[in-house]
Chains A and B, each alone.
Chain A
Amino acid sequence: QSVLTQPPSASGTPGQRVTISCSGSNSNIGSKTVNWYQQLPGTAPKLLIYSNNQRPSGVPDRFSGSKSGTSASLAISGLQSEDEADYYCATWDDSLHGPVFGGGTKLTVL
């Protein structure tokens, strides 16, 4: 069982806005920044959002992140078929000295 909790699945139709939640605790999300990764089918993960709401160069502004208390969210607006992928939240864990991941959310574009 993952330290961070994500819904196993989410879905939306093209053009719609969808959000994916990530729930943690005071010892992880509550005190650390959150990163999001996108993993397209059969490929390596890609950093999508870092430091709660920052997008690396090249990531469309359709993707946005937010954090409040012990929860974080990834929002995708103007949903496109190519957004169909697995999405993972992650945050730093001081005791590990490494990141912990959520269990992942499989996004389906209907």
Chain B
Amino acid sequence: EMQLVESGGGLVQPGGSLRLSCAASGFRFSEYWMTWVRQAPGKGLEWVGNINEGGREKHYVDSVKGRFTISRDDAKNSLFLEMNSLRAEDTAVYYCARDVSGGSGTYFYYYGMDVWGQGTTVTVSS
């Protein structure tokens, strides 16, 4: 069974840091792009960023650029989200998810996020 399990959430003060982890099992983790998505209380889904197979290519939503860093350890089937300079507006449930995409240019396809973790809650408050 394909599974993603997040951990590392908690309460942190504004300006603080937190590192989220996502453990993958049941599929070849190293062969997929991976994504972080967050959901603020009572709000919709927001893509945070993603990382390619191998970890050399990363992309982020503007609101977290320079503060959040995505990384992966394929040997340990793990995805990470390092969050620094946290703000109240970063309060959310954070989900990791597997991206299904491929090709390039005209032949690029994106089939969405087909495996999701259960989420871990991050609260930024003094």
Q: Which A residues contact B (CB, under 8 angstroms)?
A: 2, 32-33, 35, 37, 39, 43-47, 50-51, 54, 56, 86, 88, 90, 92, 96-104
A56 and B95 contact, Cβ closer than 8 Å, known pairs A45-B45, A104-B45: no
Complex interface: chain B residues within 8 A of A33 (CB): 109-111
B44 with A103: CB separation less than 8 A: yes
**Which 4 A-B residue pairings sit nearest by Cβ, starting from the closest?**
A35-B112, A97-B59, A44-B116, A104-B44
Q: Which of B91-113 contact A (CB under 8 A)?
A: 95, 100, 108-113
Q: How far is the CB of B49 from chain A (nearest CB, A)?
A: 7
Q: Which of B37-68 contact A (CB under 8 A)?
A: 37, 44-47, 49-50, 59, 61
Give the CA-CA distance A46 to B112 in the complex, in Å.
10
Complex interface: chain A residues within 8 A of B111 (CB): 33, 35, 50-51, 54
Q: How many residues on B have C-beta within 8 angstroms of the other chain's C-beta atoms?
A: 23
B116 with A45: CB separation less than 8 A: yes
B119 with A44: CB separation less than 8 A: yes
Give the CA-CA distance A54 to B110 in the complex, in Å.
12
By beta carbon, the residue of chain B nearest A45 is: B116
Give the CA-CA distance A99 to B109 in the complex, in Å.
12
> Out of B50, B95, B109, B117, which one reaches A98, CB within 8 Å?
B50
A101 and B46 contact, Cβ closer than 8 Å, known pairs A47-B112, A96-B59: yes
Complex interface: chain B residues within 8 A of A104 (CB): 44-45
> Out of A44, A47, A86, A96, which one reaches B47, CB within 8 Å?
A96
